[in-house]
Amino acid sequence: MRTHGEYVIYCKSMIKPIPVNSFHLKGNEKKYINDCIDSGWISGEGQYIEKFENQFSQYVGRDFGIAVANGSAALDIAVLATEIGPGDEVIIPTFTIISPALSIVKAGATPVLVDSDPITWNMDVTQVEAKITSKTRAIIAVHIYGLPVEMEPLLQLAKKYHLKIIEDAAEMQGQTYNEKNCGSFGDISTFSFYANKLITTGEGGMIVCDDPAIAKRCKKLRNLAFEPEGPRFIHHEMGFNYRMTNMQAALGLAQLEQVNTSIDKKHSIGKYYDQHLHFLLQHKYQLPLPETSYAHNIYWIYGVVAPDEQEKQQIVTHLKDHKIGTRPFFWCMHEQPVFKKLNLFHGQKYPTAEKMARCGFYIPSGLGLTDDELEVVAKTFRDFYE
């Protein structure tokens, strides 16, 4: 016979885990991938790449799309295609994934950091102008977690100081700012199609722009800087192999066909949690802002900020004990060991972003999440506080 403790462990072992991310591949994905296999076009050339580039850029409202290996690769290329190099400064939020900062540093330029807005979790655009110097070349406008960063003030600063805007819309397929698609604002804009995005290709990314010369340059950098017209294997500059495969693009095309359903699903997940986790506000949590004057939250992920680090640890452990996956929020750029080693951001402090990084985490919010799973997540939070 089992002891009570053993019985509890036994019951827990029967619970089906609820992963923090789950995807939805229920359309033409298999059909298109089979087509790649049957036709023999499986690597970095093929009709699906062209179709996906054309249809995705059209969807965003841009003239050109350049499909690449992932969202970080898209940023590497965007930074180089913007002619950013040694001696230049580029403004980014400190609260972001590391990719934009890495792209800047790899280009030999210096990232300049800005704190976050405590309500939207995006870069506080009111703090940007004070960071502009004679060396500033660009701003990377990173959209974070579900609400876009306020583009209008950034576009005005760019105009006033002759700066370029790189728009990192990695998380923002289907999101709009003032009813215009995210990804349509930057001189160059980038997307990620990692498995947790609204459109996934497993791994993948896209650069979009309107300038044919920039598009041509991005294509060249993506393909080891082969000269498009020149003799093969003679290279005049350094490039990357950041090509997307035809099979990834086949996935992407099938996913693009379902994007409206994916947007609706994200909204319904967000609405459910807004309603059923509302009680967390009494426990001094912060929940995502459902809307601003310029956008409805698309809830790419559903993040919450606990009142302090200890409480975050306790609730995350409780959720983990019930097999519910969570992820911590991004860790600030000025606190990254890799950048400390490079002597970057010495002594800098960004209190809002630091609090978010320490106390924030996100909960299951993937497109494959079922109604039952949503209920279990909300109930597990409630049980902790009752």
Ligand X SMILES: Cc1ncc(COP(=O)(O)O)c(C=O)c1O
Q: Which of 168, 187, 354, 373 binds ligand X (CB under 6 A)?
A: 168
Spatial contact of 157 and 178, defined as CB atoms under 8 Å apart: no
The span of 8-16, 69-77, 157-165, 335-343 binding ligand X (CB under 6 A) equals 69-77
Among all residues, whose Cβ is closest to ligand X?
71
**Could you say whether residue 97 binds ligand X (CB under 6 A)?**
yes
Instruction: Choose which of 57, 70, 181, 352 interacts with ligand X (CB under 6 A).
Output: 70
Contact region with ligand X (CB under 6 A), list: 25-33, 167-175, 353-361, 364-372: 167-175
Supply the minimum distance, in Å, between the C-beta of residue 235 and ligand X: 25
Rounded to 10 deg, the angle between the 71-81 and 212-222 helix axes is 120
Nearer to ligand X, 99 or 189 (CB): 99
| Contacts (Cβ under 8 Å, ≥6 apart) of 267 | 296, 298, 299
**Residue 171 lies near ligand X (rule: CB under 6 A):** yes
Residues in the chain: 386
Report the residue from 142, 207, 221, 277 that binds ligand X according to the rule CB under 6 A.
Answer: 142
Indicate whether 255 belongs to the interface with ligand X (CB under 6 A). Answer: no
How many chain residues touch ligand X (CB under 6 A)?
Answer: 13
Interaction of residue 72 with ligand X, rule CB under 6 A? yes
- List 44, 65, 71, 186, residue binding ligand X (CB under 6 A): 71
Q: Report which of 217, 163, 170, 160 is spatially closest to residue 194, judged by C-alpha positions.
A: 170
Q: Tell me the HSE value of 360 on the side-chain side, using a 13 A CA sphere.
A: 22
What element of type H or E holds 372? helix 371-385
Q: Does 90 bind ligand X (CB under 6 A)?
A: no
Our finding on whether 115 is near ligand X (CB under 6 A) is: no
Buried b (16+ CB within 10 A) or exposed e, 291-327: eeebbbbbbbbbbbbbeeeeebeebbeebeebbbbbb
Looking at the Cβ atoms of 187 and 322, the one nearer to ligand X is 187
Q: How far is CA 12 from the centre of its chain?
A: 33
Query: Is residue 99 involved in binding ligand X (CB under 6 A)?
Result: yes
Which of these ranges, 67-75, 131-139, 268-276, 310-318, lies near ligand X under the rule CB under 6 A? 67-75
Q: Which amino acid is at 301?
A: I
Of 127, 125, 133, 130, residue with least CA distance to 153: 125
**Single residue of 48, 95, 194, 339 touching ligand X by CB under 6 A:** 194
For 105, phi then psi, to 5°, come to -65, -40
**199 touches 177 (CB < 8 A):** no
Q: Which of 80, 90, 114, 170 binds ligand X (CB under 6 A)?
A: 170
Q: Which stretch binds ligand X (CB under 6 A): 119-127, 164-172, 234-242, 355-363?
A: 164-172
Residues in touch with ligand X (CB under 6 A): 70-72, 96-97, 99, 142, 168, 170-171, 192, 194, 205
